[in-house]
Structure 1
Amino acid sequence: MENASTTTLVMKRQFEVAPERVFDAWLNPDMMRKWLFTLEATNKIARNDPRVGGTWEIVDVREGKEYRAIGEYLAIDRPRKLVLTFKMPQFSDTVDRITVEFKAVDAGCEMTFSQEIVVPHEEDWTAEDIEKALTEYHDQTEHGWGYMFEGLKQLLETGKINYPS
């Protein structure tokens, strides 16, 4: 995309379950609807075709508004690596790339998540404006994934997510 920059977010998380279970939580629609861009109570659609070239879709409804996240699988190597695209068409035409790697460790699984975040520029932005936007996109994205990964950890380790009231 012309008039855009990218920033990369990298996060690591530990799970006290086997890498296969963490990997599968990214692909199983029944699991996806509980943590991936949605909550079970507000999820409208959790669709998935887990093969290279296959697509995924999550639709969440909050306060009467639909939020749609979609993407395509670029690589699936169970239980080691998953590469997919990510787009929220209601907000932007940009397409991010997500890579998730899973590694067995003594305590269970270490997941390394990275997202190449495309940040569109507005007309007349200065270098300072671009840097500020890159930081904001990075930090907001990290915050959102932090909540999702906490939910995923609870779901995998206890069977349920304790949502804050």
Structure 2
Amino acid sequence: MTDTVTVVVSRVMPAPPAVVFDEWLDPEALQEWMCPNPVRVVEVTIEPRVGGTVRFDVDDSGTGVLISGQFLTIDRPRLLRFTWSNSNWEDPSQASIVAVTFEPVGVGETLMSIEHSLLPTSEFESFHSGWIDTFAQLDARLASTVR
């Protein structure tokens, strides 16, 4: 078994939990904010049911990367859990687990937290900074669409 690490990132989002939650299941929205720029999501496949597909076709500076997984839990608007594998990992069959929680805070705001576990040790830094940047992109999108 390969050593693994867990990345945890939290941020208060400027929208209620149901709105923030739905961003994770909306292919057009995901294409806009998922993956830290300049990495671009070219195509998104989402089947929002337990066992359904999660798939991001990504362009990382000209290199194609496939991120794929399956939904494990969909508890709107509190929790999303899904598996995550990257085609460019040393072992592309290795599955990590993403758990995203949505807690109401303040008025119309959400504390969104991600725990991305079972990541290859070598990926800690890129995923830690990547999720921070991705959360900032989602925050900006919500701030411009919710207000």
TM-score normalised over the length of structure 1: 0.78
Aligned-residue offset at 1:38: 6.6
Measured in 2, the distance between the counterparts of 1:94 and 1:58 equals 16
Contact 1:55 1:72 in 2 (8 A): yes
- Choose 36-45 or 75-84, whichever is displaced more: 36-45
The counterpart of 1:43, out of the listed 20, 41, 44, is 41
Structure with higher RCO (Cα < 8 A, 6+ apart): 2
Partner residue of 2:128? Answer: 142
SS of 1:87's equivalent in the other structure is: strand
- In structure 1, stretches of 5+ residues that fail to align are 120-133, 160-165
Residue identity over aligned pairs, in percent, reads 26
Q: Superposition pairs for residues 2-151 of structure 1, below 5 Å? A: 2=1, 4-37=2-35, 42-91=40-89, 92-107=92-107, 108-119=109-120, 134=121, 136-151=122-137
User: Partners of 2:66 and 2:104 in 1: how far apart?
Assistant: 32
1:131 alignment partner in structure 2: none
- SS of the residue corresponding to residue 51 of structure 1 reads coil
Give the letter for the 2:52 counterpart.
G
**Deviation string for 1:82-110 (max 9, x for gaps)?**
00000112322211001111011114100
Of Structure 1 and Structure 2, which has the larger fraction of its residues in strand? Answer: 2
Unpaired runs of 5+ residues, structure 2, are: none
* Separation of aligned partners in 2, 1:43 and 1:118: 20
Taking the aligned partners of 2:34 and 2:119, their CA distance within structure 1 comes to: 20
Question: How many correspondences in the alignment?
Answer: 142
Q: CA–CA distance in 2 between the matches of 1:36 and 1:100?
A: 14
The structural deviation recorded for 1:37 is: 2.5
Deviation of 1:5 after TM superposition, in Å, equals 1.3
Alpha-carbon distance between aligned partners in 2 of 1:98 and 1:41, rounded to the nearest angstrom: 19
Equivalent residue letter for 1:20:
A
| Alpha carbons of structure 1 residues 97 and 41: separation in structure 2 relative to 1, 3 Å | closer
